Amino acid sequence: MNQIVIGEIVIPYELKISTRAQRITIYVRQGQVKVSVPVGVAERQVQKFILSKQQWIYKYWQQFQEQQILRDRKIYKSGQIFPYRGRNLTIEVGEHGYKTIGVSLIQDNLWINFPVNAPLENRPYYIKKALVFWCKKQARQIFRNKLDHYAGIMGVKYKTLRIKEQKTKWGSCSAQGNINLNWKVIMAPDIVIDYLIIHELAHLKYLNHSRDFWDLVADYMEDYKQWRKWLKDHGGDLEV
Ligand SMILES: [Zn+2]
């Protein structure tokens, strides 16, 4: 197999000599790289062409790898990537001396520890359950801290915080000053969490999305539009 080496990344590709090809073409489909070369083109020339396109190849190849990670996320096992506050944590499944499943974050590893001798059946199901439970707990604490922090800065007071789970709704604020936040946002980068919190707190002054409302949001986060867009573009991926 031929390979393209970009730093530490090795991308294999398939080379096809084609009698019909007029020029060298590169395809990246489903993470597979194929290079089609007309008959009689020198190897050196092919290499030069690939080299000139390597950034482009990398971009499309990488996109596929990232999507693959998202697809694989559904299978809960060791080595799987789990997004958390803008970091890519790696799930590690282990055992511990306690009677219930425990979750602990150690550096970039999210350890899911089963009691010693726990049955092996349905592990992915229990890992998912433990992950959701852990995320909700983190969300409650981190959202609360951030709410208190920004409420102080913005000079507003909210009443209660409720942690919710909805498909696509990230947050809401009632006329009574009760704020609801979707725990799944804990999987987004911190700046996105901050944006959401500033957004909901700004509703304590304006219960609409008027010009004044957005001006207020911008007072506390100048580039909020970028993070609002992030949530729109990537919110659907925030799934356990
Ligand atoms: Zn709003």
For the stretch 13-50, pLDDT in tens is 999 998 888 899 998 887 789 999 999 999 899 999 99
Determine, yes or no, domain membership for 76. no
Shared domain for 92 and 109, answered yes or no, is yes
- Token representation of residue 138: 């983190």
C-alpha of residue 103 to centroid of ligand 1, in Å? 33
Phi, psi for residue 171 in degrees, rounded to 5: -165, 165
Write down which residue in 29, 52, 71 finishes a domain: 71
C-alpha of residue 179 to centroid of ligand 1, in Å? 11
Determine, yes or no, domain membership for 142. yes
In the predicted model, what is the mean pLDDT of the chain?
A: 91
What's the CA gap between 84 and 3, in Å, rounded? Answer: 33
Q: If you ran DSSP here, which 8-state letter would residue 214 be given?
A: H
pTM of the model: 0.69
C-alpha of residue 226 to centroid of ligand 1, in Å? 16
List C-alpha distances in Å: 144 to 44, 150, 153: 60, 10, 14
C-alpha of residue 100 to centroid of ligand 1, in Å? 39
C-alpha of residue 181 to centroid of ligand 1, in Å? 12
What's the CA gap between 194 and 69, in Å, rounded? Answer: 26
Domain that holds residue 99: 81-133
pLDDT score for 210: 97
Neighbouring CB atoms inside 10 A of 27's CB total 14
pLDDT score for 95: 94
What's the CA gap between 37 and 92, in Å, rounded? Answer: 44
C-alpha of residue 86 to centroid of ligand 1, in Å? 23
C-alpha of residue 214 to centroid of ligand 1, in Å? 9
C-alpha of residue 184 to centroid of ligand 1, in Å? 17
C-alpha of residue 84 to centroid of ligand 1, in Å? 24
pLDDT of 73 strictly over 60 = no
pLDDT of 183 strictly over 90 = yes
C-alpha of residue 102 to centroid of ligand 1, in Å? 36
Determine, yes or no, domain membership for 47. yes
Closest of 8, 18, 13 to residue 60, by C-alpha: 13
Shared domain for 160 and 228, answered yes or no, is yes
C-alpha of residue 59 to centroid of ligand 1, in Å? 34
C-alpha of residue 202 to centroid of ligand 1, in Å? 8
CB burial of 44-55 (b: ≥16 within 10 Å; e: otherwise) equals eebeebbeebbe
Percent of the chain with pLDDT over 70: 97
C-alpha of residue 239 to centroid of ligand 1, in Å? 22
What's the CA gap between 83 and 91, in Å, rounded? Answer: 10
C-alpha of residue 131 to centroid of ligand 1, in Å? 28
pLDDT score for 101: 94
DSSP 3-state assignment of 140?
Answer: helix
pLDDT score for 59: 87
Domain count, the chain: 3
Q: What is the arithmetic mean of pLDDT over 214-230?
A: 97
Determine, yes or no, domain membership for 115. yes
Shared domain for 111 and 146, answered yes or no, is no
C-alpha of residue 137 to centroid of ligand 1, in Å? 24
